[in-house]
Amino acid sequence: MASNVRPQRVAIVGRPNVGKSTLFNRLVGRRLALVDDLPGVTRDRREGEARLGALSFTAIDTAGLDDAAPESLAGRMLAQSEAAVRSADVSLFVVDARAGLTPLDRHFAAILRASGKPIILVANKSEGAAASAGRLEAYELGLGDPIPISAEHGEGLAELHDALAEQGFGESETEDEGPGKAIKVAIIGQPNAGKSTLVNRIIGEERLLTGPEAGITRDAIAIDWTWRGKAFRLFDTAGLRRRARVAGKLEKLAVADALRAIQFAEVVVLVVDVTLPLEKQDLQIADLAEQEGRAIVIALDKWDLVIDRQRLRGELIEKTKRLLPQIAGVALVPVSGLTGEGADKLIEAVVKAHAVWNRRVSTARLNRWLPETLERHPPPAVSGRRIKLRYLTQTKARPPTFVAFCSRPEALSDAYRRYLVNALRQDFDLPGTPIRLILRKGDNPFAGRKRKRV
């Protein structure tokens, strides 16, 4: 049945030459807008049907925001951009992470705040270390956590997807018809680990082709499924071998499809063959999911073949603690794709991991916790000067991301950063999920300021 609901609209705005048209082309999937290094190529606003993961919306490319007289060409271009903002449900405010903030960025950030429309701050051109300073500088705009992307290279789109979803952007009609928003789960692992067999047991039907041969699955197959009234979208993926062993165009395409499934998932289930448990490739796949910021659950498949279960489980728990400290506390769930043993417990672990991944800790709790944590283990002195951590806040969830303001962030050792992350994980019950800790120089940025709701 056709729907009469207006598609949700996203205006892409920012000063000239920050990469708005490149982002527009990336979202609509083809080169609709002209792109050049010369500023001001875009004049009229251009609309296109965009898709990002499971989200569909109308993207609006706009002229670069420039301060000019209303009757001039630049002024009329600005009026078109302002009209796009008024017509949009959300504005993507794009800044150049390599160039850093300019007075024009700050001027138009104030204009966008006054519009009363939701704003997502996007730090484009964030590839490489040279963009780090400009990306952190974008916090000064007071528009929340800047999303680092590279529109040219397609990096950071999963985080942009999550930000749009948090603004209430819906997914496809089939997902919206389910009981609540579907949890997106990617089933990943090495070839022949039993991924497709396990998915068939979970959903209770022979939905996926299985067999003893490795590499049967090529495409990432999406399956909509409901469990105890909760909606899921499961993605069965091709097995991920070591890069050196990936051969042929079809396998390369299948691996790329699996990697995209990880990027757009919320929870990643790593299926491990317990007859060959936690090989180097398993650890690398887990690390990849952690780097993408996904919640992680490890399924110990072929558990029906294990004789001394208690001993093996204890060994795997110890091995995981030692080899995967970046996801300490990750759930290890024994399952059998052949018999269906442990299928319900696996989904329960997925739901719990999803909840942890979405968890938020109030700023008040964090700043009561910070002095106690520093007292237990003070920051080290560097060149005779003690590093001072003054303020901590959580800027986003999915995964939990914290910003700490301190006197010399560049001097704080990786070991002390790990101490803070582990303490956050333990004291605020954040097991098995990636935790991001960003260090910024300065005092409490909100001291003496009254919070203004936009």
Query: Please, which residues bridge with residue 50 across strands?
Result: 57
> What is residue 389's DSSP assignment?
E
**Residue 177 identity (one-letter amino acid):** E
Greater confidence (138 vs 448) lies with: 138
Domain residue limits, the chain: 9-166, 173-357, 363-441
The dihedral through the CA atoms of 184, 190, 191, 192 has a sign that is negative
Q: φ and ψ at 106, to 5 degrees?
A: -65, -40
Q: How far apart are the first and last CA of the chain?
A: 37
User: What number of residues does the chain have?
Assistant: 454
Give the sheet arrangement for strand 401-406, strand by strand. Answer: 389-396, 401-406, 436-441
Do 9-166 and 173-357 have matching folds? yes
Separation between Cα atoms, residue 46 and residue 32, nearest integer Å: 9
Separation between Cα atoms, residue 386 and residue 281, nearest integer Å: 41
Examine the pLDDT at 210 and tell me if it is beyond 90. Answer: no
Whole-model pTM: value is: 0.61
The secondary element (H helix, E strand) that includes residue 162 is: helix 157-166
> Rounded to 5 degrees, what angle do the CA atoms 370, 424, 362 make?
65
Residues of the chain with pLDDT > 70, as a percent, come to: 76
How would you classify the pairing of strands 55-61 and 9-13?
Answer: parallel
Examine the pLDDT at 263 and tell me if it is beyond 60. Answer: yes
The topology (CATH level 3) of 173-357 is Rossmann fold (3.40.50)
pLDDT digits (tens, 9 = 90+) for 296-328: 999 999 999 999 999 999 999 999 999 999 999
CATH code of domain 363-441: 3.30.300.20
CATH code of domain 9-166: 3.40.50.300
pLDDT digits (tens, 9 = 90+) for 339-385: 889 999 999 999 999 999 999 999 899 999 999 999 999 988 877 78
Separation between Cα atoms, residue 364 and residue 393, nearest integer Å: 8
